[in-house]
Structure 1
Amino acid sequence: MFAPASGQAVFDRDQGERQLALEYLAEAWNVAEEDGVQSAALAHASLFAALATFVKMHGDEATADLMELLPDRIRSGEYNLERVLQ
């Protein structure tokens, strides 16, 4: 899904763990939708949980700094699942 950066061995390990985590989240998301939870509610809850975890791990300022990078990344299509990678 993401292009490798320097430090390939660390990237491979981290990428594998992130992929596994994404699979767990996708499974939980699908179960919740089957139970009638709306996608928007799941998205809001997921963002809250992710941001709260980042704040707990890295603090308010570091999390805010990270979030400042999101608008450009979103606009460039980095989070568009329908985007075609070349």
Structure 2
Amino acid sequence: MSYSRLAPSRAALPDQEQKQAALTYLNEAWAEALHDGIDGDCLAQASLFAAFAELVNTYGEDAVAKFVEGLPARVRSGEFSLVTFKQ
């Protein structure tokens, strides 16, 4: 059964809203998996695999390879670092 038959029909959200909703879903699933005892590193690796597989399926290997060439600089610049504040 496809997901579209399970979900109510609605107009597509703007791209930025879809990204925020997707991140909310992923954060909730991540928290549930951690609660169930799944290691965070295992979650990260599985998530990256699933994400890259979807990107390759959508855009192809060459486009995704070009995209990931820019990831080292983005990681080093702190784009993926979460800021935590101590009280």
CA distance in 2 between counterparts of 1:28 and 1:77 reads 24
Question: Match for residue 28 of structure 1?
Answer: 29
Q: When you count helix as a share of all residues, which structure comes out higher? A: 1
Tell me the TM-score normalized by structure 1: 0.79
Q: Give the aligned residue type for 1:29.
A: W
SS across alignment from 1:37: coil
Identity %: 49
SS across alignment from 2:44: helix
Question: Match for residue 6 of structure 1?
Answer: none
RMSD of the alignment, in Å?
Answer: 1.5
Structure 1 alignment gaps of length 5 or more: 1-11
| Runs of 4+ displaced beyond 4 Å | none
- Name the larger-Rg structure: 2
How many Å apart are 1:15 and its aligned residue? 1.3
The number of equivalent residue pairs is 72
**Structure 2 residue 49 is matched with structure 1 residue 44:** no
